[in-house]
């Protein structure tokens, strides 16, 4: 009985505290400085930083003048600048049957990956003068995923036919990208192993892909947030926030190794963890 009364008392105090609070709202926008934190297969593989932006609305519940809870609904671009320059392979397809022809040699990939999320951060905040410190969690829903850049390759087919250096463009759509020979966007003919094959002018995301229906990136992402804002007046503020992902954002089934093919010319996949990491610089206004 005593525990019941204690529980009721806690609920009454908590309810009274929240009843004294106030709701407010606002908006914010700014830049994201992004990267993907994950293991590299060799020193030839590099995940570099790229820049995106964010924009959205904020909803604030002030429990006291100093302390409260806030949530946001934001569109946020994340990603990485991916580079690989080293021993690798390239797949060609014959023009009549679409049969793959595999070549080995040196490959340079330079791809800017941009992933767009609807982010929902939920944070606790505490004010110290004009400063507002915050920390909390974030859930993200992937709504767009693309890659742009180019791939340069030179080498020799497994049957001994030389492949002169060429460059193909990258126009990746990771959510609805085409596969195999259907991923070729513009081409010129090339003779390999006495057969006519496509020399692609540009390729889609799954030109070289494992034999499954998985996409490169997962739909959901979860992470931690921490940051600080400085209020220039009662409403206008500037802020910086760090976001660190807790989820592996890539599907193992399409996380393809750039280094070599497996036995039977199968694409090798990697069971590693790749996490979103970003720093946000924002300007916002709270009503």
Pairing of strands 100-128, 131-157: antiparallel
pLDDT 10s digits, 179-188: 999 999 999 9
Statement: residue 212 has pLDDT above 70: yes
From residue 9, alpha-carbon distances to 2, 6, 63, 280 in Å are 11, 5, 18, 41
Q: What is the mean pLDDT of residues 168-178?
A: 97
At residue 21 the predicted structure's pLDDT band, cuts being 50, 70 and 90, is confident
Residue 226: what pLDDT? 98
- Cα–Cα distance measured from residue 88 to residue 85, given in angstroms and rounded to the nearest whole number: 9
Q: At residue 1, does pLDDT exceed 70?
A: no
Site of tokens 């671009």: 77
What is the number of other CB atoms lying within 10 angstroms of the CB of residue 159? 12
The answer to whether residue 208 scores a pLDDT higher than 90 is yes
Element (DSSP H or E) covering residue 213? none
Instruction: Report the C-alpha gap between 60 and 234 in whole angstroms.
Output: 14
Q: With contact defined as beta carbons under 8 Å apart, do 257 and 267 qualify? A: yes
Confidence of residue 12 (pLDDT cuts 50, 70, 90): very low
Give the C-alpha separation, 203 to 190, whole Å: 16
Cβ-based neighbour number of residue 65 at 10 Å: 9
Confidence of residue 20 (pLDDT cuts 50, 70, 90): low
Q: Tens digit of pLDDT for each residue in 65-115?
A: 999 999 999 999 999 999 999 999 999 999 999 999 999 999 999 999 999
The model's pLDDT over 45-68, given as tens digits with 9 standing for 90+, comes to: 999 999 999 999 999 999 999 999
SS (H, E, C) 83-94: EEEEEEEEEEEE
4: pLDDT strictly greater than 70: no
Q: What angle do CA 213, 218, 224 make, to 5 degrees?
A: 170
Average pLDDT (134-152) is: 98
Give the mean pLDDT of the chain: 93
Instruction: Provide the phi-psi class of 180: left if phi over 0, else alpha when psi is between -120 and 50, else beta.
Output: left
Task: Please report, rounded to a whole number, the percentage of residues in the chain having pLDDT higher than 90.
Answer: 92
User: Hey, CA dihedral for 260, 263, 264, 267, is it positive or negative?
Assistant: negative
- Paired with 167 in beta bridges are 152
Q: What is the pLDDT of residue 14?
A: 42
- For residue 234, pLDDT over 50 is answered with yes
More confident residue, 16 or 146: 146
Q: Report whether 189 contacts 206 (CB < 8 A).
A: no
Who's near 227: CB < 8 A, 6+ residues apart?
Answer: 133, 134, 135, 239, 240, 241, 242, 280
């Amino acid at each position: 009985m005593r525990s019941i009364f204690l529980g009721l008392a806690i609920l009454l105090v908590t309810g009274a505290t929240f009843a004294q609070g106030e709701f407010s709202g606002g908006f914010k926008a700014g830049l994201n400085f992004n990267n993907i934190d994950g293991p590299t297969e060799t020193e030839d593989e590099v995940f570099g930083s790229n820049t995106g932006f964010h924009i959205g609305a904020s909803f604030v519940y002030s429990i006291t003048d100093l302390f409260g809870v806030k949530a946001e609904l934001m569109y946020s671009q994340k990603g990485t600048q991916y580079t690989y320059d080293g021993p690798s392979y390239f797949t060609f397809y014959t023009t009549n049957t679409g049969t793959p022809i595999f070549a080995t040699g040196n490959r340079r990939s330079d791809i800017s990956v941009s992933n767009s999320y609807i982010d929902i951060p939920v944070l606790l905040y505490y004010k110290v003068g004009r400063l507002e410190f915050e920390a909390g969690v974030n859930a993200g829903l992937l709504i767009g995923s693309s890659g742009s850049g180019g791939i340069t390759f030179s080498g020799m087919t497994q049957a001994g036919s030389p492949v002169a250096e060429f460059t193909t463009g990258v126009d990746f759509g990771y959510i609805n990208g085409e596969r195999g020979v259907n991923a070729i966007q513009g081409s010129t003919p090339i003779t390999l192993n006495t057969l006519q094959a496509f020399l692609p002018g540009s390729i889609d995301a799954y030109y070289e892909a494992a034999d499954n229906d998985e996409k490169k990136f997962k739909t959901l992402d979860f992470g931690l947030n921490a940051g600080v804002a400085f209020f220039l007046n009662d409403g206008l503020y500037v802020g910086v926030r760090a976001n660190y992902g807790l989820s592996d954002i890539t599907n193992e089934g399409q996380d393809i190794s750039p280094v070599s093919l497996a036995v039977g010319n199968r694409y090798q996949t990697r069971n590693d963890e790749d996490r979103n990491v970003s720093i946000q610089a924002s300007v916002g206004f709270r009503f």
